[in-house]
Structures are given as structure tokens and as C-alpha cells.
Amino acid sequence: MSALDVPAPAKINLFLAVTGRRADGFHDLVSVAATLAWGDSISVRAQGAPFSVACDAPGIPTDGTNLVMKAARAFAEETGWTGGAHFSIAKRIPAGAGLGGASSDAVSALVALNALAGGPLDRAGLARIASGVGSDCALFLSAGPVVMRGRGERVESLAAPASRRIRGRRILVFKPAFAILTPWAYGRLDETAGSFVAASDAEGMLASWAAGDADAGKLLFNSMEPPAFAKFAALPLLLGTIRARFGMAAGMSGSGSACFALLPDDSDSGPVVAAIREAWGASAFVADTRIA
């Protein structure tokens, strides 16, 4: 095996409670996240050292700062592998969106590289490297909705009855022309008094939803919305319109700026898309997909 083509799915945060800032500068959280049936794709081709990366989207770094390169170097250090690989990213997930595009690319590249090298790492080894590359990377090794804790590196599958209320749900993802940088968003959160959710309260909210039979829309919560909404009024205005006009559960994913609405299976997304274009202009990104 000398080449592989692998998907790199986007993710959505249905529930994100930030419970505090850690001594290492990261934040503790409790989150329910799920990958989508839509995202980037990566072609991985073995080559003599070193590693290299290309991307079809402008503005995406292709040097050592790209998380794919960080994952590849970490893989080589962990396994002693002396080969190289070229990673070609077909970019569909917009940057600065809170959809995990860079992290997903890194994990998909890591899994493909492990396969090309003959599988020297088991799942635990892959998870260890993924967690070192990025806080939300480990979730992309899981199938189905997961609960993330710690800084995001502690990942466990959501219990089956609760997972069934999420998996396969149709979802409309949309993003304005502007991005929100994650460090800025968390910085604003830190500056806002009372912005953190007590860990016991976050676990209680999640446990209450998981133990019942409420729709996935009742789970939606995001600690990152208040700081984002305070600066970018276009986000809450449109989400309010979608909730009021169409009766759909909607929210922001991660630190933004991408938002989403849960669509009924038989609904026509056209009027919702038209409302998004009316509010945010023709440059707004929209994807009609499903939760994996």
C-alpha cells in the first residue's frame, strides 16, 4: 500500500459547557460532539522523507504550522518511522468556523499514515498522538456522538439510547464570511464574569437529557455563544429568526462562527437558506448534511 484517500469529516458541538480555565492555559469542558457526513478529504501518498502538504484552498498554511504536519512528525517520533508522505487536502470545511476542520485533517492524515506504515500504533497510541496535536483531535477517532471532557482529550461514546436521538439527524450548517479565532473567543470568555459553568451543573444538564427521551434540539447549549454574540450581532439575530420563523432548534458550534439548525427529514431547506442569504449575503457558506 503506497497511497490512500480518506475522508476528514467536520464536527458539530451540540452541547459545550466550559467549566473553568486550567493552570496550563487550556480550559476544562464538558461537550457532546458528533462528526458529520460532510467535510474535507485527504489524499496520502508515501514518499521518501520528508513530509509535505498541499491544499486546494487559499490561506491554509502548508508549512510546519499545519496540524497535518504536526501529526506526521509526532507519528514519526513515536514509531521511529523513517519514511515520508505527501498529504493533499481537498478543503471543504471553512476555517475559523468551530467545525474542527484542521483537527479532522490531522487525525485522518494520522490514521492513513499509520496504515501506510503497516499499523505500528493501536487505537490508544493514535489517541495519544491526536490529543497532543490538538485538544479536539481525539474525537475524530470515534464513530458516533461522543462526550468530551478535560480539555477535550478525554473522549467516550455517548450511551446508545441517547446516541440514537442524534445519529443520522439532518442538519444545516451555515457560516458568515467572517471567522472567529478560537484564542480570541476563549480570551473573551475569561474576561466575562460568571461565564464558566460549574462542572456539576454541566454534568447534571447532560445527564438529565441523556436519561430522558427529549429530542436532540433540547440538548443544545454553548458557553461560547455569549462572548461571540456580544461582538458579532449577526449571529444571534439570524439564529433568532430561524427559531421564530421556522421553529427549528439552532445554535453555534464550538467557538464559531459557524452555526447550525436541526432540520426535519422531510423539510425543504430552501426557505431557510434564503433567510441565511438575506441576512448574511451571498458569501455565506451553507451545507445541508447529516450527523454521522
Catalytic residues: 11, 136
Q: Which burial class, exposed, middle or buried, applies to 79 when counting CB atoms under 10 A from its CB (0-12, 13-18, 19+)?
A: middle
Query: Long-range pairs for 216-220 at CB < 8 Å and ≥24 separation?
Result: 216/14, 216/165, 216/166, 216/169, 216/249, 216/262, 217/248, 217/249, 217/262, 218/249, 219/14, 219/15, 219/32, 219/166, 220/14, 220/15, 220/249, 220/250, 220/251
Question: Cβ(109)–Cβ(86) under 8 Å?
Answer: no
Question: Cβ(15)–Cβ(58) under 8 Å?
Answer: no
The vertex-33 CA angle with 175 and 123, nearest 5°, equals: 125
